Amino acid sequence: MSGKFPPGLLNATNTGAVTHSEIAPIQKFGLAALLELIQNHNNEKSGNILSQDVELMGLDLSEGAENLKNMASPWQETTRSEVEPDFSLPESILKKNIVPQPEPCGSKILSFQDETLFYIFYSRPRDTIQEYAARELVTRNWRYHRDLQVWLTKDSNVDPQIISPDVERGVYVFFDPHNWEKIRKEFVLHYSSVQA
| CATH code assigned at 160 | 2.30.30.1020
* 143 domain residue, yes or no: yes
Q: What is the structure's pLDDT at 108? A: 86
**pLDDT band of 11, cuts 50, 70, 90:** very low
For 68-107, the pLDDT digits (tens) are 666 666 666 555 555 566 778 788 777 776 766 656 567 7
- Is residue 55's pLDDT more than 80? no
* 189 domain residue, yes or no: yes
Nearest-angstrom CA–CA distance, 187 and 144:
14
For 142-186, the pLDDT digits (tens) are 999 999 999 999 998 999 999 999 999 999 999 999 999 999 999
* 94 domain residue, yes or no: no
Nearest-angstrom CA–CA distance, 7 and 77:
38
* 155 domain residue, yes or no: yes
The boundaries of the domain holding residue 167 are 108-195
* 70 domain residue, yes or no: no
The domain total for the chain is 1
Q: pTM (2 decimals)?
A: 0.48
* 168 domain residue, yes or no: yes
* 19 domain residue, yes or no: no
Q: What is the structure's pLDDT at 177? A: 94
* 40 domain residue, yes or no: no
